[in-house]
Amino acid sequence: MPGHEALPLPDYDHLPLGSLQHRIRTLDEPGLREVLTYEEAHGNRLPVVEVVRARLQELREGAQPSGGSPLAPAPEQAPAPDTGSAVSPATTGPAMNPPSHGTPENPAQPRPTG
C-alpha cells in the first residue's frame, strides 16, 4: 500500500472531489491504482472511489492521460499575495480629506429651498 508521500498527486488528502476528478485525468493506470489502493485503505470515500474506478475504466477503453501536470498550481489554492505597495510619497493622497459639509476655510454652500 502506498504511503501519502508516495502518491502521484500532491496534497491528495486535501483535494476537493471536483479538483480530484480533474487531477486524476493526468495519471496513467498504475498511478490511478496507487490512488485507489490508498483511498480504499484510508478514507474509502464512495464518491472518490467511484470517480477513480470510472477513470480506470476510461483508460482501459482507450482513453489517454491528459498532458497536464499533477504538480501544477491548483485553482483551489489562493495565489501568493502581492508584496509591497504601489503607493509612494509622490503618489499619496492628502493627509486629510475634508468632511463632506466643508471646512471653516471653505464652508458648504447653502442649498436653495424653493
DSSP letters of 79-113?
PPPP-S-S--TTT---SSPPPTTEETTEEPPPPP-
Q: pLDDT in tens for each of the 114 residues of the chain? A: 667 778 888 788 888 888 888 889 989 999 999 999 999 998 899 999 999 999 999 999 999 988 777 666 666 666 677 777 777 778 777 676 656 665 666 666 666 665
| Residues paired with 106 in a beta bridge | 103
Do the beta carbons of residue 48 and residue 7 sit within 8 Å?
no
Of 28, 25, 23, 29, residue with least CA distance to 9: 23
